[in-house]
Amino acid sequence: GAWDMLKAYRDMREANYKDADKYFHARGNYDAAQRGPGGAWAAKVISDAREKWQSRVSGRGAEDTRADQEANEWGRNGGDPNRYRPAGLPSKY
Topology of the domain comprising 1-84: Topoisomerase I; Chain A, domain 4 (1.10.132)
Q: Is the pTM higher than 0.85?
A: yes
Residue-range domain boundaries for the chain? 1-84
* pLDDT, tens digit, 9 for 90 and up, residues 40-74: 999 999 999 988 887 777 767 788 889 999 999 99
pLDDT 10s digits, 11-38: 999 999 999 999 999 999 999 999 999 9
The answer for residues whose C-beta is within 8 angstroms of residue 16's C-beta and 6 or more apart is none
H helices present in the chain, as ranges? 2-15, 21-33, 37-57, 62-76
